[in-house]
Structure 1
Amino acid sequence: METRVNLSKSDPAAYAALLAMNKAASEAAQAADLDPKLCELIKIRASQLNGCSYCLRMHTRDALKLGESSDRLAVLPAWRESEYFTAVERAALALSESITLVSVDQVPRDTYTMASSVLTDAQVSAVAWLSAAINMFNRVAITSRYRVAP
Protein backbone atom coordinates (compact mmCIF):
# COMPACT_ATOMS: atom_id res chain seq x y z
CA MET A 1 0.00 0.00 0.00
CA GLU A 2 1.31 3.43 -0.89
CA THR A 3 2.53 5.73 1.87
CA ARG A 4 1.05 9.19 2.07
CA VAL A 5 1.17 12.12 4.44
CA ASN A 6 -1.21 11.51 7.33
CA LEU A 7 -3.20 14.74 7.30
CA SER A 8 -4.47 14.32 10.85
CA LYS A 9 -0.88 14.20 12.12
CA SER A 10 0.82 16.59 9.70
CA ASP A 11 -1.26 19.57 10.84
CA PRO A 12 -2.61 18.86 14.32
CA ALA A 13 -4.19 22.31 14.63
CA ALA A 14 -6.28 21.84 11.48
CA TYR A 15 -7.32 18.36 12.61
CA ALA A 16 -8.21 19.68 16.08
CA ALA A 17 -10.45 22.26 14.42
CA LEU A 18 -12.18 19.48 12.47
CA LEU A 19 -12.67 17.48 15.68
CA ALA A 20 -14.14 20.57 17.37
CA MET A 21 -16.49 21.15 14.44
CA ASN A 22 -17.57 17.51 14.57
CA LYS A 23 -18.21 17.78 18.32
CA ALA A 24 -20.34 20.89 17.78
CA ALA A 25 -22.27 19.15 14.99
CA SER A 26 -22.91 16.14 17.24
CA GLU A 27 -24.07 18.40 20.06
CA ALA A 28 -26.41 20.22 17.65
CA ALA A 29 -27.84 16.87 16.53
CA GLN A 30 -28.45 15.87 20.13
CA ALA A 31 -30.07 19.23 20.92
CA ALA A 32 -32.30 18.85 17.84
CA ASP A 33 -33.44 15.42 19.09
CA LEU A 34 -31.97 13.48 16.17
CA ASP A 35 -31.76 9.80 17.05
CA PRO A 36 -28.10 8.80 17.58
CA LYS A 37 -28.66 5.79 15.29
CA LEU A 38 -29.83 8.16 12.54
CA CYS A 39 -26.69 10.23 13.04
CA GLU A 40 -24.63 7.10 12.42
CA LEU A 41 -26.72 6.22 9.35
CA ILE A 42 -26.00 9.69 7.94
CA LYS A 43 -22.27 9.15 8.48
CA ILE A 44 -22.37 5.66 7.00
CA ARG A 45 -24.34 6.70 3.92
CA ALA A 46 -22.04 9.64 3.15
CA SER A 47 -19.03 7.36 3.64
CA GLN A 48 -20.56 4.82 1.25
CA LEU A 49 -21.02 7.50 -1.39
CA ASN A 50 -17.45 8.71 -0.87
CA GLY A 51 -15.95 5.22 -0.72
CA CYS A 52 -14.28 5.73 2.66
CA SER A 53 -13.59 2.30 4.11
CA TYR A 54 -12.07 3.71 7.30
CA CYS A 55 -15.17 5.73 8.22
CA LEU A 56 -17.50 2.96 7.04
CA ARG A 57 -15.94 0.47 9.41
CA MET A 58 -15.90 2.93 12.32
CA HIS A 59 -19.47 4.17 11.98
CA THR A 60 -20.94 0.76 11.20
CA ARG A 61 -19.42 -0.51 14.43
CA ASP A 62 -20.76 2.55 16.27
CA ALA A 63 -24.25 2.01 14.82
CA LEU A 64 -24.26 -1.64 15.87
CA LYS A 65 -23.20 -0.65 19.41
CA LEU A 66 -26.19 1.72 19.53
CA GLY A 67 -28.50 -1.15 18.59
CA GLU A 68 -28.90 -0.50 14.86
CA SER A 69 -30.03 -3.64 13.04
CA SER A 70 -27.86 -5.45 10.53
CA ASP A 71 -30.89 -5.57 8.19
CA ARG A 72 -31.15 -1.78 8.06
CA LEU A 73 -27.39 -1.45 7.59
CA ALA A 74 -27.53 -3.99 4.77
CA VAL A 75 -30.20 -2.08 2.83
CA LEU A 76 -28.88 1.42 3.57
CA PRO A 77 -27.39 1.89 0.08
CA ALA A 78 -30.89 1.23 -1.31
CA TRP A 79 -32.87 2.96 1.44
CA ARG A 80 -35.32 4.46 -1.06
CA GLU A 81 -36.31 0.97 -2.19
CA SER A 82 -37.00 -0.42 1.31
CA GLU A 83 -39.63 0.06 3.96
CA TYR A 84 -37.10 0.05 6.81
CA PHE A 85 -36.80 3.81 7.25
CA THR A 86 -39.16 6.38 8.76
CA ALA A 87 -40.15 9.67 7.13
CA VAL A 88 -37.65 11.53 9.34
CA GLU A 89 -34.85 9.11 8.44
CA ARG A 90 -35.70 9.34 4.73
CA ALA A 91 -35.68 13.14 4.85
CA ALA A 92 -32.34 13.19 6.66
CA LEU A 93 -30.77 10.62 4.33
CA ALA A 94 -31.99 12.43 1.21
CA LEU A 95 -30.64 15.75 2.45
CA SER A 96 -27.33 14.23 3.52
CA GLU A 97 -26.88 12.46 0.17
CA SER A 98 -27.58 15.70 -1.65
CA ILE A 99 -25.05 17.58 0.48
CA THR A 100 -22.49 14.82 -0.06
CA LEU A 101 -23.05 14.93 -3.81
CA VAL A 102 -23.30 18.74 -3.93
CA SER A 103 -21.30 18.92 -7.17
CA VAL A 104 -23.93 16.81 -8.92
CA ASP A 105 -27.07 18.85 -8.27
CA GLN A 106 -26.35 21.64 -5.77
CA VAL A 107 -28.87 20.37 -3.14
CA PRO A 108 -32.01 20.58 -5.27
CA ARG A 109 -34.98 22.64 -4.13
CA ASP A 110 -37.30 19.62 -4.03
CA THR A 111 -34.94 17.67 -1.77
CA TYR A 112 -34.53 20.61 0.58
CA THR A 113 -38.27 21.38 0.58
CA MET A 114 -39.14 17.76 1.34
CA ALA A 115 -36.57 17.59 4.14
CA SER A 116 -37.69 20.86 5.69
CA SER A 117 -41.32 19.72 5.60
CA VAL A 118 -40.44 16.72 7.79
CA LEU A 119 -37.50 17.99 9.85
CA THR A 120 -37.40 21.01 12.13
CA ASP A 121 -35.05 23.85 11.24
CA ALA A 122 -32.69 22.65 13.98
CA GLN A 123 -32.74 19.13 12.53
CA VAL A 124 -32.08 20.38 8.99
CA SER A 125 -29.13 22.34 10.32
CA ALA A 126 -27.85 19.36 12.34
CA VAL A 127 -28.09 17.02 9.34
CA ALA A 128 -26.20 19.55 7.22
CA TRP A 129 -23.42 19.98 9.80
CA LEU A 130 -23.13 16.22 10.40
CA SER A 131 -22.90 15.74 6.64
CA ALA A 132 -20.26 18.44 6.27
CA ALA A 133 -18.20 16.93 9.09
CA ILE A 134 -18.28 13.34 7.82
CA ASN A 135 -17.49 14.48 4.30
CA MET A 136 -14.42 16.27 5.62
CA PHE A 137 -13.35 13.23 7.64
CA ASN A 138 -13.84 11.06 4.53
CA ARG A 139 -11.57 13.33 2.54
CA VAL A 140 -8.87 13.30 5.23
CA ALA A 141 -8.97 9.50 5.56
CA ILE A 142 -9.08 8.83 1.81
CA THR A 143 -6.36 11.34 0.94
CA SER A 144 -4.15 10.01 3.76
CA ARG A 145 -4.94 6.40 2.79
CA TYR A 146 -5.78 5.39 6.36
CA ARG A 147 -5.17 1.67 6.70
CA VAL A 148 -8.16 -0.61 6.97
CA ALA A 149 -7.07 -4.16 7.59
CA PRO A 150 -8.94 -7.13 9.06
Structure 2
Amino acid sequence: MLNQNYMVRRMTVQDIDAIMAIEEEAFTLPWSRNSYLGELKNSFATYLVCDCEGQVAGYAGIWVVFEEAHITNIAVARRFRGQGIGRALMEEIEKVAGKKKALRILLEVRPSNSAAIAMYQSQGYVTTGLRCAYYSDNGEDAIIMTKFLF
Protein backbone atom coordinates (compact mmCIF):
# COMPACT_ATOMS: atom_id res chain seq x y z
CA MET A 1 0.00 0.00 0.00
CA LEU A 2 1.33 3.40 -0.97
CA ASN A 3 1.72 6.04 1.67
CA GLN A 4 -0.20 9.28 1.38
CA ASN A 5 2.71 11.16 -0.24
CA TYR A 6 2.28 9.19 -3.46
CA MET A 7 -0.28 9.59 -6.22
CA VAL A 8 -0.78 7.93 -9.58
CA ARG A 9 -1.59 10.32 -12.42
CA ARG A 10 -1.36 10.63 -16.19
CA MET A 11 2.13 11.05 -17.64
CA THR A 12 2.87 14.46 -19.17
CA VAL A 13 5.64 15.82 -21.40
CA GLN A 14 7.13 17.42 -18.28
CA ASP A 15 7.75 13.92 -16.87
CA ILE A 16 9.91 12.75 -19.78
CA ASP A 17 13.31 13.68 -18.27
CA ALA A 18 12.52 11.69 -15.12
CA ILE A 19 11.12 8.81 -17.21
CA MET A 20 14.33 8.69 -19.25
CA ALA A 21 16.46 8.51 -16.09
CA ILE A 22 14.40 5.54 -14.83
CA GLU A 23 14.52 3.89 -18.28
CA GLU A 24 18.33 4.05 -18.31
CA GLU A 25 18.50 2.66 -14.78
CA ALA A 26 15.93 -0.12 -15.26
CA PHE A 27 16.42 -1.47 -18.78
CA THR A 28 19.28 -2.73 -20.93
CA LEU A 29 17.25 -1.65 -23.99
CA PRO A 30 15.70 1.66 -22.89
CA TRP A 31 13.10 3.38 -25.01
CA SER A 32 14.02 6.72 -26.55
CA ARG A 33 12.66 10.12 -25.57
CA ASN A 34 10.93 10.30 -28.97
CA SER A 35 9.23 6.96 -28.32
CA TYR A 36 7.61 8.36 -25.17
CA LEU A 37 6.69 11.63 -26.84
CA GLY A 38 4.99 9.60 -29.58
CA GLU A 39 3.19 7.40 -27.05
CA LEU A 40 1.71 10.46 -25.34
CA LYS A 41 -0.01 11.25 -28.68
CA ASN A 42 -1.12 7.65 -29.35
CA SER A 43 -4.88 7.33 -28.93
CA PHE A 44 -4.59 3.62 -28.02
CA ALA A 45 -2.05 4.30 -25.26
CA THR A 46 -2.33 5.42 -21.66
CA TYR A 47 0.76 6.20 -19.61
CA LEU A 48 0.72 6.77 -15.87
CA VAL A 49 3.32 7.90 -13.38
CA CYS A 50 3.56 7.44 -9.64
CA ASP A 51 4.37 10.88 -8.27
CA CYS A 52 6.06 11.18 -4.87
CA GLU A 53 5.99 14.78 -3.73
CA GLY A 54 6.71 16.03 -7.27
CA GLN A 55 9.24 13.31 -8.17
CA VAL A 56 8.46 10.52 -10.62
CA ALA A 57 8.97 7.29 -8.67
CA GLY A 58 7.74 4.97 -11.43
CA TYR A 59 5.62 4.68 -14.53
CA ALA A 60 3.58 2.25 -16.58
CA GLY A 61 2.08 2.20 -20.05
CA ILE A 62 -0.70 0.24 -21.68
CA TRP A 63 -2.24 -0.05 -25.11
CA VAL A 64 -5.87 -1.07 -25.37
CA VAL A 65 -7.03 -2.22 -28.80
CA PHE A 66 -10.50 -3.74 -28.90
CA GLU A 67 -10.75 -6.44 -26.21
CA GLU A 68 -7.01 -6.78 -25.60
CA ALA A 69 -4.72 -4.66 -23.47
CA HIS A 70 -0.94 -4.85 -23.67
CA ILE A 71 1.30 -3.47 -20.94
CA THR A 72 4.10 -1.85 -22.88
CA ASN A 73 6.34 -1.07 -19.92
CA ILE A 74 6.49 -0.61 -16.19
CA ALA A 75 9.45 0.53 -14.11
CA VAL A 76 10.17 1.93 -10.67
CA ALA A 77 13.22 4.04 -9.81
CA ARG A 78 15.72 2.00 -7.82
CA ARG A 79 15.45 4.17 -4.72
CA PHE A 80 11.65 3.76 -4.62
CA ARG A 81 11.54 -0.03 -5.08
CA GLY A 82 9.98 -2.27 -2.46
CA GLN A 83 7.34 0.28 -1.49
CA GLY A 84 4.38 -1.06 -3.48
CA ILE A 85 4.71 1.40 -6.35
CA GLY A 86 4.86 -1.27 -9.07
CA ARG A 87 1.79 -2.96 -7.64
CA ALA A 88 -0.10 0.37 -7.43
CA LEU A 89 0.77 1.16 -11.04
CA MET A 90 -0.39 -2.30 -12.15
CA GLU A 91 -3.71 -1.83 -10.34
CA GLU A 92 -4.29 1.56 -11.96
CA ILE A 93 -3.32 0.35 -15.43
CA GLU A 94 -5.77 -2.56 -15.01
CA LYS A 95 -8.52 -0.05 -14.15
CA VAL A 96 -7.76 1.78 -17.41
CA ALA A 97 -8.04 -1.51 -19.33
CA GLY A 98 -11.34 -2.37 -17.62
CA LYS A 99 -12.84 1.05 -18.38
CA LYS A 100 -11.89 0.58 -22.03
CA LYS A 101 -13.67 -2.82 -22.02
CA ALA A 102 -10.55 -4.98 -22.40
CA LEU A 103 -11.17 -8.66 -21.60
CA ARG A 104 -7.54 -9.51 -20.95
CA ILE A 105 -4.17 -7.89 -20.37
CA LEU A 106 -0.87 -9.29 -21.53
CA LEU A 107 2.77 -8.40 -21.06
CA GLU A 108 6.23 -9.73 -21.84
CA VAL A 109 8.87 -10.23 -19.17
CA ARG A 110 12.41 -11.59 -19.20
CA PRO A 111 12.74 -15.01 -17.49
CA SER A 112 15.69 -13.51 -15.58
CA ASN A 113 13.44 -10.84 -14.01
CA SER A 114 12.22 -12.98 -11.13
CA ALA A 115 11.08 -10.02 -9.01
CA ALA A 116 8.74 -8.79 -11.76
CA ILE A 117 7.46 -12.32 -12.46
CA ALA A 118 6.65 -12.80 -8.77
CA MET A 119 4.77 -9.49 -8.64
CA TYR A 120 2.81 -10.29 -11.81
CA GLN A 121 1.88 -13.73 -10.46
CA SER A 122 0.73 -12.19 -7.18
CA GLN A 123 -1.54 -9.90 -9.24
CA GLY A 124 -3.16 -12.85 -11.02
CA TYR A 125 -1.09 -13.06 -14.20
CA VAL A 126 -0.34 -16.52 -15.59
CA THR A 127 2.20 -17.66 -18.15
CA THR A 128 0.50 -18.14 -21.52
CA GLY A 129 3.36 -18.27 -23.98
CA LEU A 130 6.95 -17.64 -24.92
CA ARG A 131 8.53 -15.36 -27.51
CA CYS A 132 11.84 -16.97 -28.44
CA ALA A 133 14.92 -14.73 -28.63
CA TYR A 134 12.69 -11.67 -28.09
CA TYR A 135 15.27 -9.34 -26.54
CA SER A 136 17.84 -8.13 -29.04
CA ASP A 137 20.53 -7.24 -26.50
CA ASN A 138 21.19 -10.84 -25.42
CA GLY A 139 18.71 -13.03 -27.30
CA GLU A 140 16.80 -13.80 -24.10
CA ASP A 141 13.29 -15.17 -24.52
CA ALA A 142 10.23 -13.29 -23.29
CA ILE A 143 7.62 -14.95 -21.14
CA ILE A 144 4.11 -13.86 -22.13
CA MET A 145 1.89 -13.42 -19.09
CA THR A 146 -1.86 -12.80 -19.25
CA LYS A 147 -4.56 -11.75 -16.82
CA PHE A 148 -8.20 -12.24 -17.71
CA LEU A 149 -10.35 -9.35 -16.49
CA PHE A 150 -13.85 -10.77 -17.00
Larger Rg: 1
Flag whether TM exceeds 0.5 (same fold): no
Greater relative contact order structure (CA < 8 Å, 6+ sep): 1
- Choose between structure 1 and 2: higher helix proportion: 1
- Relative to the length of structure 1, the TM-score reads 0.29
- Relative to the length of structure 2, the TM-score reads 0.29
